[in-house]
Amino acid sequence: MKLSKYFEIGKGTVPIILSCPHGGYKKPKRIPDKSYGVHAPDRNTYLIAKQILWALKNQNIDLYFILNKIHRSKVDLNRPPRSKLAFNKSSIEAKNIHQLFHDQLLNFTQECVQKYNKALLIDFHGFTKPYPEYPDIIFGNVFGKTLKVLENPQVENCEKYWGCSQLYNEIAQLFTLDDGLALSDINIAYSGGYITHRFYNVPKVNAIQLEIAKFIRMEQESTNRFIKSFVNGIIETID
């Protein structure tokens, strides 16, 4: 089965993987719609992920990446395969798409750990702020349980963890953030989905579900500001 039918995939030169599971746009008629769960995609996440990759490439930085092309109404890659929310169980192709995505993601993290002795997975998502005081961006890391690679063991906030620290510090200059480390009414729904949870007990891998508010994804100026801060965070991470 050709991966290029379903995903845009690339190998990197640094131990960072960018995953974008909910930005897909293809709706093959041969794949039945899911009977349960959310059908709406995380709008513009696919395009923003590509802009991030281009901006980093201009800095001679290549991330590992896997960007899903299949619409969320067909397959939800952030749900466990046994769940009715993941795909229509009548479709073998949908099941295979789900399996291929997670196999590729696992292969990338294993390759990074073998080459660099660590890996950072950034799982890129979108949400809608329910009220103005809500954070613009939420880090999901199962309240720190998917963060193992340390930056500074002496502190108790996001700066303790490699990748989380640099991204947080850069993005927080422009947007309001929740680092996901402390359980709250704000972040409990965005603490990390199936993709993040798969790295709960995987050594040397830091996994972050990055939830980006809709206004950032829909307003060009906000999108540009986010991309710039994200790219700066990646540069700081590899430095």
The percent of residues above 70 in pLDDT, for the chain, comes to 99
> In which domain, by residue range, is 33 found?
3-238
CATH code of the domain in which 73 resides:
3.40.630.40
CB 227 within 8 A of CB 174: no
Confidence (pLDDT) at 33: 97
Q: Which two tokens stand for residue 138?
A: 């939420």
CA distance 186 to 134: 7
In this prediction, residues 208-222 reach a mean pLDDT of 98
In this prediction, residues 123-128 reach a mean pLDDT of 97
Using one digit for the tens of pLDDT, what is the confidence trace for 88-97?
A: 999 999 999 9
CB 148 within 8 A of CB 132: no
DSSP 64: E
pLDDT of 164 above 90: yes
C-alpha closest to that of 44 among 226, 231, 189, 216: 216
In this prediction, residues 18-30 reach a mean pLDDT of 97
* Relative orientation angle of helices 220-238 and 164-171, to the nearest 10 degrees: 140
CA distance 105 to 156: 29
pLDDT of 129 above 70: yes
In this prediction, residues 164-190 reach a mean pLDDT of 94
Residue 156: pLDDT band (50, 70, 90) is confident
Q: Which two tokens stand for residue 30?
A: 């041969």
Give DSSP secondary structure letters for 160-209. GBTTHHHHHHHHTTTS-EE-S-S--TTTGGGS--HHHHTTTT-TTEEEEE
Confidence (pLDDT) at 172: 97
The overall average pLDDT reported for the chain is: 96
In this prediction, residues 23-43 reach a mean pLDDT of 96
The percent of residues above 90 in pLDDT, for the chain, comes to 90
Give DSSP secondary structure letters for 20-54. E-S---B--TTSPPPSSS-----TTHHHHHHHHHH
Between the alpha carbon of residue 177 and those of residues 56, 71, 134, 197, the distances in Å are: 23, 28, 9, 21
In this prediction, residues 168-178 reach a mean pLDDT of 97
In this prediction, residues 162-174 reach a mean pLDDT of 97
pLDDT of 208 above 90: yes
What's the structural domain count of the chain?
1
Confidence (pLDDT) at 187: 86
Confidence (pLDDT) at 1: 59
Between the alpha carbon of residue 184 and those of residues 87, 125, 178, 179, the distances in Å are: 30, 19, 10, 11
- 3-class secondary-structure state, position 83: coil
